[in-house]
């Protein structure tokens, strides 16, 4: 491990300032043979362009060209016979083009229909917003918990609607 750290520290050739270490070839190459990478210390990649091509080709041979498969899969959303029908990924069925929102994609529409978008938004609102606005009973005093459990008593005693804000106000006033 210490050898690796040392190698990173002295990537520059000790005598030739325009030569840098290629970690793939385990040899020094001219700076013009490296692609740029501003996030690295010297502003170049850790492997030369030739090594980058080799490693990319090895990856394609090993895993196939995953990106091309993923992009061609997008076009399978069209109906085989009716050009006006498209696949809704949420409902798992074909629906007319008018049921989709316009979007800046190759097909020009979103991947789910308008109804599915509304369902997802409603579910997100239910999961996130409503939970945040509901009071957490564990954090309230015993008096506030009793008032929440008996809203009619609170309204009769204080002549105010039993909202969480009103209960907390009364708790502060009476020091409960």
Instruction: Give the domain range for residue 94.
Output: 65-134
CA dihedral 114, 115, 120, 125 (to 10 degrees): 100
DSSP, res 56: H
* Per-position pLDDT tens, the chain of length 176: 445 544 445 788 888 888 988 988 888 999 899 999 888 888 888 899 999 899 888 888 887 766 666 555 555 788 889 989 999 988 899 999 999 999 888 888 998 999 999 999 888 888 877 665 555 555 667 777 777 777 777 777 777 777 777 777 777 776 66
Do 69 and 130 belong to one domain?
yes
Do 18 and 52 belong to one domain?
yes
pTM higher than 0.75 for the full model?
A: no
Q: CB-based contacts of 91: which residues, under 8 Å, 6+ apart?
A: 112, 113, 115, 116
Residue 94: what are its φ and ψ, rounded to 5°?
A: -85, 140
Number of structural domains in the chain: 3
Quote the crossing angle between the two packed helices 142-149 and 151-158, to the nearest 10°: 100
Do 117 and 148 belong to one domain?
no
Q: CB-based contacts of 82: which residues, under 8 Å, 6+ apart?
A: 94
């Amino acid at each position: 491990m210490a050898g690796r750290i040392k190698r990173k520290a002295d990537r520059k050739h000790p005598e030739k300032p325009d030569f840098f270490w290629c970690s793939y070839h385990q040899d020094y190459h001219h700076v013009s043979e490296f692609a740029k990478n501003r996030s690295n210390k010297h502003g170049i990649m850790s492997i030369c362009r030739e090594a980058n091509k080799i490693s990319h080709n090895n990856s394609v041979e090993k895993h196939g060209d995953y990106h091309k498969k993923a992009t061609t899969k997008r076009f399978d959303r069209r109906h085989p016979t009716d050009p006006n029908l498209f696949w809704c990924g949420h409902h798992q069925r074909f629906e007319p083009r008018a049921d989709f929102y316009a979007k800046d994609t190759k097909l020009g529409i979103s991947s789910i229909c308008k109804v599915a978008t509304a369902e997802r938004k409603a579910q997100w609102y239910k999961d996130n917003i409503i939970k945040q606005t509901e009071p957490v009973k564990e954090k309230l005093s015993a008096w506030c918990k009793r008032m929440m459990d008996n809203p009619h008593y609170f309204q009769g005693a204080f002549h105010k609607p039993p909202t969480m804000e009103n209960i907390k106000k009364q708790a502060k006033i009476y020091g409960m």
